[in-house]
Amino acid sequence: MLSTKNRVNGFTLIELLVVMVILGVAVSLVGSFSIDWVDKAKVHDEKQTVIRWIRQQSSDAFIKDEAISYLFDGKAIYRISNEIDTDQTQTRENIAYRCEYLFFHTQFITFNSNGYASNQKLTFNIANNVQSLNLSNILSIKDESQAN
């Protein structure tokens, strides 16, 4: 005869397996959303980094009082020397910045000695989505007191 005192309280194997399956499904759903969120954050970060880089190049052109030219092509930005490069082999070796997520359409941008860009827009792709940056807005200095 078994007494009720000898019986151990606990979970059965089936109950534990059901809980583990429910947790596995929940983690797989949340994981896919968080991975997508991380990728979007990396793209946003790279876009902001390129904006800061463009502002820095504009500032450098102004401080040095000389024009600086760049070729935006594919996933890289190349600095173009002031000397004429007929075969553009040296241009391709002067990588100024390399991107991981942004893909630039081939375009030349020159920052003049006043720091202004020769083009108004910089066009690029992010995951087959064409976007553009308005360089005039990026390079303009806004008074924080007027922005509020």
pLDDT value at position 31? 80
pLDDT value at position 86? 46
3-class SS at 53? Answer: helix
Residue 105 backbone phi and psi in degrees, to 5: -75, 150
pLDDT value at position 106? 94
pLDDT value at position 82? 64
**Which residues of the chain fall short of a pLDDT of 50?**
85-87, 143-148
What is the identity of the amino acid at 35? I
Catalogue all structural domains in the chain, each as residue range(s) with its CATH number.
Answer: 38-143 (3.55.40)
Q: In which residue are the tokens 């087959």 written?
A: 128
